[in-house]
């Protein structure tokens, strides 16, 4: 085996080793890219859920205010008496 053949064998080994290392790095890059994409998709889903829940919360808060106002009216004796007298008048009219 002369010197040029030995250099060719070493360069082939170096090429294979370099390709192996590049392949390993490529696998890691793909794995990290997939994880980043998944994280962004999950983040977007969570933001959508948050906006839906905030909308639902505001609707419930509005409903709660209306119900609290009705409860306050029912606790007001003058309001109850006025409505009771109206209902009696309506029954007498029939």
Selection from 44, 45, 64 nearest residue 56 by Cα: 64
Distance CA 36, CA 38 (A): 5
- Contact present, 80 and 74 (Cβ < 8 Å): yes
pLDDT reported for residue 77: 82
Closest CA to 8 of 53, 60, 39, 16: 16
For residue 68, the model assigns a pLDDT of: 95
Given this model, what pLDDT does residue 27 score?
A: 98
pLDDT in 10s for each residue of the chain, 94 residues: 556 676 666 688 888 999 999 999 999 999 999 999 999 999 999 999 999 999 999 999 999 999 999 898 888 888 777 777 777 666 665 5
């Amino acid at each position: 085996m002369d010197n040029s053949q030995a250099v060719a064998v070493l360069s082939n080994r170096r090429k294979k080793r370099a390709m192996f290392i590049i392949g390993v790095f490529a696998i890691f890059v793909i794995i990290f890219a997939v994880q980043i994409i998944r994280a962004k998709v999950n983040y977007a889903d969570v933001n959508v859920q948050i906006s839906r829940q905030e909308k639902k919360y505001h609707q419930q808060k509005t409903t709660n205010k209306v119900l609290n106002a009705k409860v306050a009216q029912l606790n007001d004796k003058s309001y109850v008496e006025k409505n009771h007298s109206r209902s009696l008048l309506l029954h007498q009219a029939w």
